[in-house]
């Protein structure tokens, strides 16, 4: 199976791009369903954007919804999303509930005439995603999946380096995440109340692989071959898998996608190797390491690279400490993502995460999951 990157295939996006010139400062009415931990990042944005009215929040827990009202200035709290959609009629609904609820929530929101910003994955499979997309097109509305890490500063910097030709042509990508999802007391390891994501096709790893896939796909021209080894290293029946090691080949580019629960410390690293040099970052402890041809030629480049990277790492260490004190989280890209998404809604232009981005990501997730089923 081959899938190829395209610029955009969405009639809705084309229509919106055509009317981009008609941009005007429209104040959009936003609502949020699901007021768990990730909602804090969305609500911070909505509170800060003067062009957005935070009209309502909804959660099964009335108290949690009321907390969001008190803390982030939402106008109303609901415990029934259908009622919120009917009463408030939001322009945009943020769907931040567990993944297994997304399909129905997205359908309901589109049918109620709202654009949708939804946490990943939009749907458990590519088929279901495309069903939702067709519905969105028929309603002339947009679905935008949160690909927040794509908008973290180090990733944007690597993309810039590629555009400028400093890394040459992309040849290898490694996206690697290490998270202690089996840690006692953690949300995924809770035997008393198993996390809903355990029910997803790849278990709780389904929560993470969309991130890994969309980052790899930024640098993969196509997906021609996939092989993946899934494992439940920690054993037991709660986790379907806690380990993934996948190889994805597209044209001349090889991508390794790796998730482990067994290695420390927490890591979300991205390495892009090109025909001229390579760049590496860790989105959890941000830094940018660059190995490039430097002035001084082949003899002095290693020395200059090491010195430059040493200074860069020391600066990143200080910045990391400051970030910790100032409570900056790895979700910094989410604010940029939401800013561009709302601008696209207002200006009726193409959103920062397109149909093609979402379709490719969910197709790659499907291909990886199919590999699991093959074992």
Partner 1 sequence: MKLLVTGAGGFLGRYVVAEALRRGHAVRAMVRGSSEGLAGLDHPALELVKADLRSRRGLTDAVSGVDAVLHLAAAKSGDLYAQYAGTVVATENLMAAMTEANVRRIVLISSFSVYDYLKAKSFSVLDENSPIEKDAFDRDEYAHTKLVQERLVREHASAAGWGFTILRPGVIYGRNNLFTARIGVNAGRFWLRIAGFARLPLTYVENCAEAIVLAAERDAALGQTLNVVDDDMPTQRKYAAMARARLSPKPLIVPMPFAIIWFLAGMGVVTNRLLFRGRAKIPGIFVPARLAARCKPLRFSNQKIKQVLGWKSRYAMGEALDRSVSDKRIEATPPTKERSPAPAEVAA
CB of 45 to partner 1, least distance (A): 16
CB of 236 to partner 1, least distance (A): 12
Q: Which is nearer to partner 1, 204 or 361 (CB)?
A: 204
Which string of x and - marks every residue 27-46 that binds partner 1 (by CB under 8 A)?
---------xx---------
CB of 60 to partner 1, least distance (A): 8
Write out 153-183 in H/E/C secondary structure.
HHHHHHHHHHHCCCCCCEEEEEEEEECCCCC
Check residue 160 for interaction with partner 1 (CB under 8 A): no
Are the C-beta atoms of residues 56 and 76 closer than 8 Å to each other?
yes
Are the C-beta atoms of residues 94 and 55 closer than 8 Å to each other?
no
CB of 129 to partner 1, least distance (A): 27
CB of 139 to partner 1, least distance (A): 32
CB of 186 to partner 1, least distance (A): 10
Enumerate residues 6+ apart whose C-beta is below 8 A from 44.
Answer: 72, 335
Check residue 134 for interaction with partner 1 (CB under 8 A): no
Q: Which is nearer to partner 1, 227 or 329 (CB)?
A: 329
Check residue 191 for interaction with partner 1 (CB under 8 A): yes
CB of 297 to partner 1, least distance (A): 44
Choose which of 192, 237, 299, 373 interacts with partner 1 (CB under 8 A).
192
Q: Which is nearer to partner 1, 27 or 324 (CB)?
A: 324
Q: Which residues within the stretch 47-66 sit at the binding site for partner 1 (CB under 8 A)?
A: 61-64
Check residue 1 for interaction with partner 1 (CB under 8 A): no
β-sheet bridge partners, residue 57: 32, 77
Task: Tell me how far apart the alpha carbons of residues 12 and 356 are, in angstroms, rounded to a whole number.
Answer: 12
User: Tokens 């939804």 — which residue?
Assistant: 118
Choose which of 70, 86, 262, 264 interacts with partner 1 (CB under 8 A).
70
Q: Which is nearer to partner 1, 37 or 295 (CB)?
A: 37
Q: How many other CB atoms are there within 10 angstroms of residue 50's CB atom? A: 7
Check residue 193 for interaction with partner 1 (CB under 8 A): yes
Q: Which residues within the stretch 273-332 sit at the binding site for partner 1 (CB under 8 A)?
A: 324-327
CA–centroid distance for 193 within its chain? 26
β-sheet bridge partners, residue 30: 54, 92
Q: Which residues within the stretch 218-257 sit at the binding site for partner 1 (CB under 8 A)?
A: none
CB of 20 to partner 1, least distance (A): 36
Q: Which is nearer to partner 1, 34 or 121 (CB)?
A: 34
Check residue 71 for interaction with partner 1 (CB under 8 A): yes
Please state the length of the chain: 375
Q: Which residues bind partner 1 (CB under 8 A)?
A: 36-37, 61-64, 67, 70-71, 185, 187, 191-193, 324-327
């Amino acid at each position: 199976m081959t899938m190829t990157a395209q610029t955009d295939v969405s009639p809705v996006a084309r229509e919106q791009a055509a009317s981009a010139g008609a941009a005007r400062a429209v104040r959009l009415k936003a609502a949020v369903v699901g007021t768990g931990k990730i909602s804090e990042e969305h609500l911070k944005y909505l509170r800060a954007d003067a062009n957005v009215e935070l009209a309502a929040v909804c959660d099964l827990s009335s108290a949690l919804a009321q907390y969001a009202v008190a803390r982030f200035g939402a106008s109303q709290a609901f415990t029934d999303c259908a009622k919120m959609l009917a009463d408030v009629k939001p322009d945009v609904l943020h769907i931040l509930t567990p993944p297994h609820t997304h399909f129905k929530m997205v359908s309901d929101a589109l049918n109620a005439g709202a654009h949708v910003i939804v946490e990943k994955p939009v749907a458990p499979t590519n088929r279901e995603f495309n069903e939702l997309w067709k519905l969105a097109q028929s309603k002339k509305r947009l679905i935008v999946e949160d690909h927040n890490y794509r908008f973290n500063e180090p990733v944007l910097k690597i993309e810039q380096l590629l555009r400028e030709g400093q890394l040459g042509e992309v040849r290898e990508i490694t996206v690697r995440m290490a998270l202690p999802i089996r840690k006692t007391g953690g949300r995924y390891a809770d035997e008393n109340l198993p996390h809903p994501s355990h029910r997803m096709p790849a278990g709780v790893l389904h929560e993470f692989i969309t991130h890994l896939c969309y980052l790899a796909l930024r640098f993969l021209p196509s997906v021609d071959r996939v092989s993946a080894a899934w494992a439940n290293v920690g054993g037991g029946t709660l986790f379907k898998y806690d380990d993934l090691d996948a190889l994805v080949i597209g044209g001349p580019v090889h991508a390794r996608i790796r998730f482990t629960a067994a290695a420390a410390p927490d890591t979300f690293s991205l390495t892009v190797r090109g025909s001229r040099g390579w760049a590496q970052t860790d989105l959890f402890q941000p830094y940018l390491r660059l190995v490039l041809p430097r002035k001084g030629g082949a003899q002095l480049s290693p020395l200059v690279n090491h010195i430059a990277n040493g200074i860069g790492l020391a600066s990143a260490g200080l910045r990391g400490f400051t970030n910790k004190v100032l409570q900056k989280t790895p979700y910094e890209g989410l604010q940029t993502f939401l800013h561009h998404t709302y601008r696209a809604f207002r200006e009726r232009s193409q959103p920062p995460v397109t149909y093609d981005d979402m379709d490719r990501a969910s197709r790659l997730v499907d291909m990886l999951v199919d590999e699991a089923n093959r074992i």
